[in-house]
Amino acid sequence: MSQYILRRLALMVPVLFGVSVVVFAMVRMIPGDPARIMAGEAATEEVVERIREQLGLNKHPVIQYGIFLQNLLRGDLGRSTLSRLPVLDELGAALPATFELAAASMLIALAIGISTGVLSAVRPNSWIDAVSMFIALLGVSMPVFWLGLMLMLLFSLHLGWFPTAGHGTWRHLVLPAVTLGLSSAAIIARMTRSSMLEVLRQDYVRTARAKGVPEARVVLRHALRNALIPVVTVTGLQFGNLLGGAVLTETVFAWPGIGRLMAGAITARDYPVVQGSVLTVALAFILINLLVDVLYAYIDPAIRYD
């Protein structure tokens, strides 16, 4: 297992290198000049050129990438062109809020998704199954930003139960976590139902029932554990998506996470912050996938990475 983990960690290097090349090229394809944005529309060309020279934007893109890569190998992501603060400091301030939101959303998604999926699989083709899958379909279909606005309208403006936006107490966390969690819960519910239906048809499940094992034990101990591998896979992917895909939710609820930071940086053409944010999300996604692969061996003893 340790050798497998080391090999996976070694593979992170070329993956992150590829991500760095792609994001470096893509941010420079965005229309707009960072120097012009910083200087203002009324600034003269001399002022804009001076800012461009200070930021190193007057150099050839290959030279710019070489400087970026050299600094990256030293653990330096540069400074924000907007705030002039180190990118690492800005990411360090935004990451805890994003992880907090992603963790709360995933807890909601797992609680709703697994329970709904198991209940639907145990009672297939019943009204419970039909209602659960219809709600899951709605959860997959609804845009996240629209759901967030509707929850804000109902629970903040009309009922006054939770704050409209911001970050601070647990009340600020509820609406954005539910907004993100419901979408992931729908995907997890459908995957859990599909996997459980397949496992419940297996011979060992029928044998356990024939021996008189209580139904709850058959479902939870024999069926659910063996149905968890695809669910864990989807959960890992969804958690990675929550870390990188919460841009709209963080923007709607003014949540000070990495998604909102990235959105503001793209608008301001803040290249260092965009590059650092994407690399951080990519690193988190790789580590989450590694954790999911390691969990496989603990869920199913037949899986070995030796």
- Domain assignment present for 79: no
Cα separation, 94 vs 90, whole angstroms: 6
Q: State residue 86's pLDDT score.
A: 85
Q: What is the mean pLDDT of residues 267-283?
A: 84
pLDDT at position 121 over 70: yes
Other beta carbons within 10 Å of 201:
10
pLDDT at position 302 over 70: no
Assess whether 137 and 256 both reside in one domain: yes
- Least confident piece of the model among 7-16, 39-48, 271-280: 39-48
Q: State residue 228's pLDDT score.
A: 79
Token representation of residue 53: 């020279």
Assess whether 149 and 183 both reside in one domain: yes
CATH code at position 106: 1.10.3720.10
Name the pTM for this structure.
Answer: 0.78
Q: What is the mean pLDDT of residues 78-99?
A: 83
Instruction: State pLDDT tens for residues 193-231.
Output: 888 888 877 777 777 777 777 777 777 777 777 787 788
Q: State residue 118's pLDDT score.
A: 85
Q: State residue 28's pLDDT score.
A: 78
User: For the chain, how many structural domains are there in total?
Assistant: 2
Instruction: State pLDDT tens for residues 55-80.
Output: 777 778 788 888 888 888 888 888 88
Q: Which of 14, 48, 73 is the last residue of a domain?
A: 73
- Cα 57 from chain centre: 31
Which residue pairs from 24-29 have beta carbons closer than 8 angstroms and sit at least 24 positions apart in sequence?
A: 24/61, 24/64, 24/65, 24/68, 24/275, 25/61, 27/266, 27/269, 27/271, 27/274, 27/275, 28/61, 28/271
The percentage of the chain sitting over the pLDDT mark of 70, rounded to a whole number, equals: 93
301 band by pLDDT with thresholds 50, 70 and 90: low
Assess whether 51 and 118 both reside in one domain: no
Cα separation, 106 vs 239, whole angstroms: 7
295 band by pLDDT with thresholds 50, 70 and 90: confident
Assess whether 56 and 204 both reside in one domain: no
Cα separation, 91 vs 77, whole angstroms: 10
Q: What angle do CA 100, 101, 106 make, to 5 degrees?
A: 100
Q: State residue 1's pLDDT score.
A: 66
Q: What is the mean pLDDT of residues 241-270?
A: 78
Q: What is the mean pLDDT of residues 183-199?
A: 84
What b/e readout covers 128-153, taking b as 16+ CB neighbours within 10 angstroms?
ebeebbeebeebeebebeebbeebbe
Assess whether 47 and 130 both reside in one domain: no
Assess whether 66 and 97 both reside in one domain: no
Question: Could you give the 3-state DSSP secondary structure of residue 86?
Answer: strand
Q: State residue 207's pLDDT score.
A: 79
- Domain assignment present for 18: yes
Cα separation, 44 vs 46, whole angstroms: 5
Q: State residue 81's pLDDT score.
A: 78
Which string of DSSP letters, residue by residue, matches 134-189?
HHHHHHHHS-HHHHHHHHIIIIIIIS--S-SS-SSSHHHHHHHHHHHHHHHHHHHH
Assess whether 64 and 139 both reside in one domain: no
- Least confident piece of the model among 153-162, 217-226, 264-273: 217-226
- Domain assignment present for 34: yes
Q: State residue 303's pLDDT score.
A: 61
Assess whether 44 and 113 both reside in one domain: no
Assess whether 109 and 46 both reside in one domain: no
Q: State residue 25's pLDDT score.
A: 84
- Domain assignment present for 304: no
Residue bearing the bigger pLDDT, 55 or 152? 152
Q: State residue 306's pLDDT score.
A: 56
Token representation of residue 215: 């139904």
- Domain assignment present for 181: yes
- Domain assignment present for 80: no
- Domain assignment present for 83: no
Cα separation, 58 vs 65, whole angstroms: 13
Assess whether 110 and 9 both reside in one domain: no
- Domain assignment present for 82: no
Residue 251: which of 104, 171, 148 has the closest Cα?
A: 148
Assess whether 111 and 11 both reside in one domain: no
Q: Which of 73, 98, 126 is the last residue of a domain?
A: 73
DSSP 8-state secondary structure symbol assigned to residue 79: B
Assess whether 147 and 173 both reside in one domain: yes
Q: Which of 45, 73, 101 is the last residue of a domain?
A: 73
Q: Which domain holds residue 132?
A: 90-299
